[in-house]
Structure 1
């Protein structure tokens, strides 16, 4: 399976919705970053690095902690903010930021998302019989107060 995407953007401003599916492989984070880099650099260059770091961490967590065959990502890019949602098919315990040891090689993903985004959370999918979850985050453009 190859990555696939849907694009609905006002091309002049890079504002709009983007959807992307990527096979759950070790390179999923890289492919997700490559997919969103162009639109972000065009529309929100000041916050692009924060958004891309959060995206990379969320996709890496979906890869590392789920058996989803596909990781789905969607984003909403508007003038005031960028919202990104990463969907997987692993229900159960919802992730929380860890307090990793200073020398730990893993365990910092949600802590980085918490530090680099203006808001984030986890939503179980599928109602009482959860079928997966969505990790979402929002990064506001500098000077914005609302999403």
Structure 2
């Protein structure tokens, strides 16, 4: 399994989404934008970076029509998602032009596990996989 660090609020928008301000429906961020592509397909742990992005909640609401729906935990694993494709461009409103879009599916929140982040999409260390596996077993 892989792990990727993403700044808040983007990490939470991938895992639990936000509330559409017009319809009330939960909307998920369905792509992760990167300047580099990947051939990896499969499950990825979502690590919320220790430092949040500078974007304000009202800016997310204005640009995407989504209100943040949960607490923005920092410095640990908050869930997992599957990377099913990597393309550019992509029609998602979350897509940033000139980037690669990791197309995401099947988001699953996990209880917070404090963990140190790192750059890139990388193999999740064995000492992290043990508590993650336990969380997944408890959730099923």
TM over 0.5: no
Larger RCO of the pair (alpha carbons < 8 Å, separation 6+) = 2
TM-score (norm 1): 0.25
Q: Which has the higher strand share?
A: 2
TM-score (norm 2): 0.25
Q: Which has the higher helix share?
A: 1
